[in-house]
Amino acid sequence: MDARSAFQQKAVVWRANVDTLINEIQNDIKKFEKESAGMTAKERDLSRQLLQTKQQQLADYQKATSEKATQEDNQMTKQVLDEVNLFIKDYGKKKGLRIILAATDYGNIAYAKEGIDITDEILEGLNKKYEGR
């Protein structure tokens, strides 16, 4: 919850920055619409180009902040999961448990005492059976 709260505070700042940029562009558009009648064709073209540049910069900033938010969210989630997994491993060792099951994205075994993993034995048996065909 602490990690999520810290992330959300950053997201609020990013959103505020985007909102500020959007407001600036909207104000620039309104100003352009009011003043464009009194501008020369060249001034109108330059003003349009400037508005388009600002809009592109806004789009680039929105994309960058979205990517940064995703990256930071993934990093935060990984750090929390690493801490939880380390705790579970230490807990299992301290309590002398052989195995701890959990529903996770990485499988159902959260902790297993060394020596319980029989993967190599299973692979050896499967290979022998396959060779016998």
- Cα–Cα distance, 90 to 83 (Å, whole number): 11
**111: region left, alpha or beta (phi > 0 left; psi from -120 to 50 alpha):** beta
pLDDT at residue 47 in the model: 94
pTM: 0.63
Task: Kindly report the backbone phi and psi dihedral angles of residue 110, in degrees, each rounded to the nearest multiple of 5, phi listed first.
Answer: -90, -30
**Quick one: pLDDT at residue 119?**
78
Cβ atoms of 25 and 58 within 8 Å: the answer is yes
pLDDT in tens, 22-71: 999 999 999 999 999 999 999 999 999 999 999 999 999 999 999 999 99
